[in-house]
Amino acid sequence: MPIEWAGLGPELLLTLDRSRPEPLRAQLERELREAIRSGRLATGERLPSSRAMATELGVSRGLVLECYSQLQAEGFLVAASGSATRVAAPAVAPAELPPRPAPAGRLAVDFLPGVPDLTSFPRRDWVWALRESCRDATPADLGYGDPRGAASVREVLAGYLRRVRGTAAQPEQIVMCAGFGQGINLVLASLAQAGMRQVAIEDPGDEDYDVICRRLGMEAIPVAVDDRGIDVDALASTGARAVILTPTHQFPTGMALAPDRRQALVAWANERDAIIVEDDYDAEFRYDRDPIGALQGLAPDRVALLGTVSKSLAPALRLGWIIGPPALLEPLTDEKLLSDRGSPTLEQLALAALIRSGRYDRHLRHMRRVYAARRETLIRALAERAPRVALHGLAAGFHAVADLADGAAEPEIVEQARARSVGLYGMSSYRLREPSGPPQLVLGFGNLSGAQVERGIEAIAELLR
Amino acid sequence: MPIEWAGLGPELLLTLDRSRPEPLRAQLERELREAIRSGRLATGERLPSSRAMATELGVSRGLVLECYSQLQAEGFLVAASGSATRVAAPAVAPAELPPRPAPAGRLAVDFLPGVPDLTSFPRRDWVWALRESCRDATPADLGYGDPRGAASVREVLAGYLRRVRGTAAQPEQIVMCAGFGQGINLVLASLAQAGMRQVAIEDPGDEDYDVICRRLGMEAIPVAVDDRGIDVDALASTGARAVILTPTHQFPTGMALAPDRRQALVAWANERDAIIVEDDYDAEFRYDRDPIGALQGLAPDRVALLGTVSKSLAPALRLGWIIGPPALLEPLTDEKLLSDRGSPTLEQLALAALIRSGRYDRHLRHMRRVYAARRETLIRALAERAPRVALHGLAAGFHAVADLADGAAEPEIVEQARARSVGLYGMSSYRLREPSGPPQLVLGFGNLSGAQVERGIEAIAELLR
């Protein structure tokens, strides 16, 4: 039964309830704090003596005294010795929160690129790996550790990347980080520290780099990408001494950087004393051949490689790594230390356990089959329902580029598809310098079942014709 | 049995081993890459025809062709049609890594402040909570989510902090982050975005703020702390409109901010339209009374509160939260998105499960007893072996301040203790403006067993007399 008390008038209503697990003293403190915050008890107002309030509420006087003393220590009440206890704090009702934009309505089928299959996350393997790591972590592993990450993890990862991505890196060159999102911040901040003022980026590509660069006092310079990857001559004609690239599977065009361009790029980097930032985001999923080795393996002193489990396991793990070229290691480590003192250790140890046990490879093999099947479904559905739409960029990963008919209006198709509850994304939204260009769609199919792919293409086929 | 092949001369030694699990093709690729990188195969050098190499190695010609084609795609080899395959890449041996400083020798007893008991991390509870979260996470939870963190977690945490820390915050005001280390970066970056140029900090206190502020174009201004907390008049005399504080248990002096200072501080903030950044790092562990409620509860519109599980669970979890005042919520969310797109979700869900199940409270109760016992041991050991050393700052947390005799030489005592394998930390290393002051030690006892505390004090007692 709640006791209600309004001894100072109806505006001060205190409610205590003995049937709740919360101790009475905590209830009384909370009620008084809220009465003060809400202005029901105003600044300077006198509270009843502890004896009077104890009698009214049917609690001990000691309880009321403790409660008054607590609220005094917190600055809500003042009590000069011998005089009454009064409300000290100005009444502060928390301001209204700014309204948040309403979340967008859910789409029946969303071809948003960059999202892996979230239903295939290997929950059981991950729990197994976490259990291993919680069991095996030493007390030192649980403290503030090396900002680069646990040494054992960097060793496992260096070996894994050497085997699977053809990299040439010592464990000492690896800095564990919170996914690509943090990794690119750390690398760009290190470049800024090293005095770089211009960073070339791929166009079409990701426009987020522009914001990050500007905040670091640098300029992002878009450089054209064609069907053989970035135009190295155009890159050389800028003053930039750093470039961010997706050489294995360009995002969003889906092309691999051509062999002679790889060589020209490395030659450029050696000549200019430049750094190549390699975003190795989805290289695990190549369908027609083995994945092309990372550029880092070709020029270990010139390349900072960024890898992540966001596509191979799940974005929500926020787990990634940087392979730093020797010259950047010290600033990279300092940046990581300053940013967050290091990434969570148990998840790093879990990733190492997953790799060492072979479960990571097994999961990747499984996902390669899953994505290959979805890719086939997409190719078939388009061939059947919109045969004049050409697809490319499909050698790897889980997005494709669809060429629309000449003169097709990209934004209108995107808008009409949305009215049919299908999310489409036009190439123009990735074009940085020239918003116009041949009309194209970037179709992500990683997080869509085969049935969803079919349904989505069926719903929009007439728009594509 | 490894096949060894040096058909181009002894400097090109390729070794294949059929007894290894690695496929022969992968072995051949790796060996060729390493021969090129190391310079054993030089730029322009001609490789044998695929037929000749296949015969020499006893493998199929198809395997050699695939291997050549892979290395061509990666930029290591070039092959004009009809002519021989040659080495393309300039030989690049990775540069030597910069030497790392040798790790400091391990101390027998280390009174380093700020480290909780790493042996008491509740491994079983944490594995239980992770298993719950891996089981209950929705596919959407596994994707790129709200940069502030999972909504369900922020709801649990808002309720928990209201109950335990007396805060007044909606779940919408909470931003999950990678511990205090990242949280302070996000808050300071938001203040910089809001045009702040000066941030007051406690002296003695943490000097790291100075570096972070300078990188954001701000100045950190030390303000004196006495035995009643920060000097609010001195604060008001600076131009700063933001201050970073440890009001519940000042670090390192260990004092709580006095009630009238709390009120004066809030009045200052209201008058100047200022922001108080509250570092609520170890408030859970108060021994003589209930923890003093957070300042945030007294002035929800003025305070940005930073909390963390680094002291309550383990630093390696890198899990913390910010309660943002309404005016800072939008920049805080933007900063978090830009920094790393959000914190790992499964660990957030695990923390929520731990709190909801009561396991978190139970662990804290247990740890309060553990630390209280160590604190008693420290008090007793000092009283017995160095009775003239006064201890204070012990009302909460797991560090204390010891007053040395007038004229004692702090740095020499620290150095002599190190020679006895005991880590001591002088107050002067926390003094920002005036390195001199009464000689004092900051004694952390969180990560020391009672026996270690006794042994440590025994070893240094004669230095303290």
- Contact call for residues A389 and A403 (beta carbons, < 8 A): yes
Pair B145, A115: CB distance under 8 Å: no
A316 with B266: Cβ contact below 8 A: no
Q: Report whether B122 contacts B116 (CB < 8 A).
A: no
Q: What is the mean pLDDT of residues A312-336?
A: 97
Contacts of B133 in chain A (CB under 8 A): none
pTM, rounded to two decimals: 0.92
Output the pLDDT for position B6.
Answer: 59
Residue B443 in contact with partner chain A when CB distance is under 8 A: no
Q: What is the mean pLDDT of residues A61-80?
A: 88
Statement: residue B112 has pLDDT above 60: yes
Task: With cut-offs at 50, 70 and 90, classify the pLDDT of residue A48.
Answer: confident
A95, pLDDT greater than 80: no
CB contact under 8 A, B130 and A135: no
Cβ-contact A152, A146 below 8 angstroms? no
Look at residue A396 and tell me whether its pLDDT is greater than 70: yes
Whether B87 and B45 have beta carbons less than 8 Å apart is answered as yes
Contact partners, residue A360, CB within 8 Å, separation at least 6: A160, A312, A351, A354
Q: To the nearest whole percent, how much of chain B has pLDDT over 90?
A: 73
Tens digits of per-residue pLDDT, A110-123? 999 999 999 999 99
Q: Tell me which of A35 and B126 has the higher pLDDT.
A: B126
Interchain contact B167–A (C-beta under 8 A): no
Kindly state the percentage of chain A with pLDDT values over 70. Answer: 95
Tens digits of residue pLDDT in B91-101: 566 677 777 66
CB-based contacts of B295, cutoff 8 Å, min separation 6: A74, A75, B245, B247, B248, B257, B262, B265, B266, B276, B278, B303, B305
- Among A142, A329, A343, most B C-beta atoms within 10 A, so best to mutate, is A142
| Mean predicted confidence (pLDDT) in B104-109 | 85
The answer to whether B344 and A318 are in contact (CB under 8 A) is yes
Question: Looking at beta carbons, which residues of chain A come within 8 Å of B276?
Answer: none
B44-48, B160-164, B192-196: lowest mean pLDDT where? B44-48
pLDDT of residue A92: 63
Mean local confidence (pLDDT), B195-208? 95
pLDDT at A90: 61
pLDDT of residue B406: 87
A-to-B residue pairs, Cβ atoms closer than 8 angstroms: 294
| pLDDT value at residue B9 | 59
**pLDDT (0 to 100) of residue A216:** 93
How much is the average pLDDT of A388-397? 93
Query: What is the C-alpha radius of gyration for chain A, rounded to an integer number of angstroms?
Result: 30
Query: Which pLDDT tens digit goes with each residue over B71-86?
Result: 988 889 988 777 788 8
B390 φ/ψ angles, rounded to the nearest 5 degrees: -90, 140
Mean pLDDT for A86-111 is: 76
Both structure tokens of B221:
């201004």
Establish if A135 touches chain B: CB-CB under 8 angstroms. Answer: yes
In chain B, which residue's Cα lies nearest the Cα of A26?
B163
pLDDT averaged over chain B?
92
Q: Which residues of A touch B345 (CB under 8 A)?
A: 316-318
CA A19 to CA A132: how far, in whole Å?
43
Lowest average pLDDT, out of A16-20, A159-163, A183-187, B142-146, goes to A16-20
Over residues A375-393, the mean pLDDT reads 95
Q: Would you place residue A4 in the very low, low, confident or very high pLDDT band (cuts 50, 70, 90)? A: low
Give pLDDT, residue B3: 64
At residue A204, what are phi and psi to the nearest 5 degrees? Answer: -70, 155
Q: Which of residues 8-37 of B touch A (CB under 8 A)?
A: 22, 26, 29-30, 33-34, 37
Average pLDDT rounded to a whole number, residues B22-27: 87
Mean pLDDT to the nearest integer, B61-72:
90
Q: Residue A331: is its pLDDT beyond 80?
A: yes
Chain B residue with CA closest to A188: the answer is: B339
Beta-carbon-side half-sphere exposure of residue B423 (alpha carbons within 13 Å)? 15
Check B266 against A89: CB less than 8 A apart: yes
The tally of CA atoms less than 13 A away on the side-chain side of residue A224 is 9
Phi, psi (rounded to 5 degrees) for A174: -95, 135
Domains defined for chain A, CATH in brackets: 24-87 (1.10.10.10), 109-115+362-464 (3.90.1150.10), 121-357 (3.40.640.10)
3-state secondary structure of A309: coil
Nearest by Cα to B276 from B312, B314, B324, B310: B324
> What is the mean pLDDT of the segment spanning B236-259?
96
Chain A residues closer than 8 Å to B137 by CB = 123, 316
The residue that leads in pLDDT, B451 or A284, is B451
Q: What is the average per-residue pLDDT within A186-202?
A: 97
Would you say B68 and B47 are in contact if contact means Cβ atoms under 8 Å apart? Answer: yes
Q: If residue A276 lies in a helix (H) or strand (E), which one and from where to where?
A: strand A275-279
**B243, HSE (Cβ side, Cα atoms, 13 Å):** 33
Nearest by Cα to A297 from A154, A162, A157: A162
A185 touches chain B (CB under 8 A): yes
Q: HSE, CB side, 13 Å, CA atoms: give it for residue B314.
A: 24
Strand, coil or helix: what is B440? Answer: strand
Whether the per-residue pLDDT at B356 is higher than 60: the answer is yes
pLDDT at A11 over 60: no
Task: Give the per-residue pLDDT at B189.
Answer: 97
Nearest residue of B to residue A266, measured between CA atoms: B89
CB–CB contact A326 B289 (8 Å): no
**pLDDT reading at A15 higher than 90:** no
Q: Which residue is closest to A319 within chain B, CA to CA? A: B344
pLDDT of residue A8: 56
User: A322 by DSSP, 3-state: which?
Assistant: strand
Asked if the C-beta of A62 comes within 8 angstroms of chain B's C-beta atoms, the answer is: no
- Look at the block and give the residue holding tokens 């004049």: A388
Cα distance between residue A367 and residue A284, in whole Å: 10
Chain B CB contacts of A75 under 8 Å are: 259, 262-263, 266, 295, 298
User: Is the pLDDT confidence value at A295 over 90?
Assistant: yes
Contact state of A319 with B22 under an 8 Å Cβ cutoff: no
Amino acid B461: pLDDT: 95
Over residues A379-392, mean pLDDT = 95
A436 CA to chain B: closest CA distance, Å? 27
Q: How far apart are CA A397 and CA B75, in angstroms?
A: 21
More confident residue, A57 or A382: A382
- Indicate if the pLDDT at residue A89 is higher than 80: no
Residue A83 forms contact with B (CB below 8 Å): no
Average pLDDT, chain A: 92
Is there a contact between A447 and B143 if contact means CB atoms under 8 Å apart? yes
* CB proximity A347 to B under 8 Å: yes
Measured between CB atoms, does B170 come within 8 Å of chain A? yes
Instruction: Give the CA angle between residues B378, B382, B386 to the nearest 5°.
Output: 165
Question: Which residues are CB-contacts of B24 (< 8 A; sequence separation ≥ 6)?
Answer: B16, B18, B59, B63
* CA-to-CA separations, B90 to B9, B27, B193, in angstroms, rounded: 20, 22, 46
Interface test with B, best of A175, A318, A447, A448 (most B CBs within 10 A): A318
Check CB contact of B106 with chain A, cutoff 8 Å.
Answer: no
Flag whether residue A143 sits within 8 Å of chain B, measured between CB atoms. yes
Q: What is the mean pLDDT of residues A69-79?
A: 88
pLDDT at A425: 97
Residue A259 to chain B, least CA–CA distance (Å): 5
C-alpha A342/C-alpha A178 separation (Å) is 9
How many CB atoms within 10 Å of residue A372?
13
Could you tell me the pLDDT band of residue B31, with boundaries at 50, 70 and 90? confident
DSSP B217-253: T-EEEEEEEEBTEE-HHHHHHS--SEEEE--SS-TTT
Flag if B270 and A100 touch (Cβ within 8 Å): no
Percent of chain B with pLDDT over 70: 95
**Helix A329-340 vs helix B179-193: crossing angle, to nearest 10:** 90
List of chain A residues whose C-beta atoms are within 8 Å of the C-beta of residue B72: 259
Contacts of A63 in chain B (CB under 8 A): none
Q: Which residues of B65-92 are buried (b: 16+ CB within 10 A; e: fewer)?
A: ebbbbbbbbbbbbbbeeeeebebbbbeb
The predicted-structure confidence for A26-40, as pLDDT tens digits, reads as follows: 889 888 888 888 777
Residues 202-261 of A with CB under 8 A from B: 208, 211-212, 215, 256, 259-260
Query: Across the interface, do B340 and A182 touch by the CB < 8 Å criterion?
Result: yes
Is the model's pLDDT at B397 over the cut of 90?
yes
Q: Round to whole Å and give the CA distance between B295 and B169.
A: 12
Query: Which of B73, B142, B179 lies closest to A340 in CB terms?
Result: B179
What's the pLDDT score for residue B415?
Answer: 96
Which residues of chain A are within 8 Å of residue B34 when distances are taken between CB atoms?
168
Which chain B positions have a beta carbon within 8 Å of A69's beta carbon?
289
Chain A, 259-298: which have a CB under 8 Å from a chain B CB?
A: 259-260, 262-263, 266-267, 270, 289-290, 292-293, 295, 297-298
Q: Is A65 on the interface with B (CB under 8 A)?
A: no
Q: What is the per-residue pLDDT for B7?
A: 62
Beta strands A242-245 and A275-279, pairing class:
parallel
Closest CA to B349 of B123, B148, B141, B143: B141
- Assess A115–B contact: CB distance below 8 Å, yes or no: yes
Report the C-alpha gap between A270 and B387 in whole angstroms.
67
Assess whether pLDDT exceeds 80 at residue A7: no
Structure tokens at A321: 């790594």
Beta strands in A69-189 (DSSP E): 77-79, 85-87, 109-110, 174-177
Q: Which chain A residues in 402-431 lie under 8 Å from chain B, judged by CB atoms? A: none
pLDDT greater at residue B175 or residue B52: B175
- Give per-residue pLDDT as tens, B408-419: 999 999 999 999
Q: In angstroms, what CA-CA distances link A88 with A36, A275, B262?
A: 9, 59, 10
Does B347 contact A at CB distance below 8 Å? Answer: yes
Range A384-389 average pLDDT: 94
Structure token pair of residue A460 = 């929009």
